[in-house]
Amino acid sequence: MINKTVTNVEEAIHDIHDGATIMFGGFGLCGIPENCIAALQKRGTKNLTCISNNAGVDGFGLGLLLATRQIKKMISSYVGENHEFEKQLLSGELEVELLPQGTLAERIRAGGAGIPAFYTPAGYGTEVAEGKEVRVFDGKPHLLEHWLRADFSIVKAWKGDTAGNLIFKGTARNFNPMMATAGKITIAEVEELVPAGTLDPNHIHTPGIFVSRIFQGEQYEKRIENLTTL
């Protein structure tokens, strides 16, 4: 039986090189690969191009890699909660490409689906449209957007099995399933790793074929950005 298991986070990220393009799953701090991010910081891999909806917060998530200047470029849709990010952006240290969230999601989905480009109405008439082909469909202008692919995709799932199948929980799913399909090498860290045959195939969100390596994360802080209760 195919076995995608690696023993630990160090083995999972061992070949991520300086200058790599990496997709990171997560929305805000929800569903981010905490263990891989911490290990990348420890390893000091630099000049990274990171594709992620957000850029973490100061001191957590991708904020860790920003603080150590390991990120050269970010491709994101919303980066509002990170002062270090704003500082590096305004000073010109950090390259940033901001995209409409749905365009970002679809470009990643396209990258993983073998679709090189598509048209979307989002961003027409805005800065996002600069340099992009415009075509009218059904009387409405659309922008040509290209697929996004990465050297590595790093995703976080709730449960996974040794065959690489993944199940996500709650809103921690977000960008993870699309990113899992769009990496040349996809690394999945999971809260619970079980033997193949344990998970019901009906419940799998990401089929194991998309996953190159899987391991169980040592611990998850799951920091909450805005705790709101009744």
Exposure on the CB side of residue 11, measured as CA atoms within 13 A:
11
Give one DSSP letter per residue of 140-157, joined into a string.
EEEEEEE---EEEEEEEE
> Which residue, 20 or 104, has its beta carbon nearer to another protein?
104
Contact 52, 26 (CB under 8 A): yes
Q: 3 vs 126, which CB is nearer to another protein?
A: 126
Nearest to 216 by CA among 197, 186, 193: 193
Work out the angle at residue 17's Cα, subtended by the Cα atoms of residues 11 and 20, and round it to the nearest 5 degrees: 120
CB atoms near residue 49 (< 10 Å): 18
Instruction: Give the shortest CB-44-to-another protein separation in angstroms.
Output: 27
What minimum distance in Å lies between the beta carbon of 82 and another protein? 10
User: Which residues here bind another protein, judged by CB under 8 A?
Assistant: 27-31, 53, 76-81, 86, 89-90, 96, 98-106, 108-109, 120-128, 158, 169-178, 205, 222-230
Question: Which C-beta is closer to another protein: that of 96 or that of 204?
Answer: 96
Dist. CA 208–CA 113, nearest whole Å? 15
Q: Which is nearer to another protein, 117 or 224 (CB)?
A: 224
**Among all chains, which residue has been given the structure tokens 């340099």?**
131
What is the chain's alpha carbon radius of gyration, rounded to the nearest angstrom?
18
Min dist CB 195 to another protein, Å, is 24
User: Which CB sits closer to another protein, 70 or 103?
Assistant: 103
* Total residues belonging to the chain: 230
| Least separation in angstroms between CB 88 and another protein | 11
Q: Which C-beta is closer to another protein: that of 27 or that of 152?
A: 27
Estimate to the nearest angstrom the gap between the alpha carbon of 124 and the chain centroid: 25
- Measured from the CB atom, is 103 or 212 closer to another protein? 103
- How far is Cα 64 from Cα 84, in angstroms, rounded to an integer? 10
Taking the complex as a whole, the smallest distance from the CB of residue 67 to another protein amounts, in Å, to 18
Closest approach, Cβ 142 to another protein, in A, equals 9
Tell the smallest beta-carbon distance from residue 17 to another protein (Å): 28
Phi, psi of 92 (to 5 degrees): 85, 5
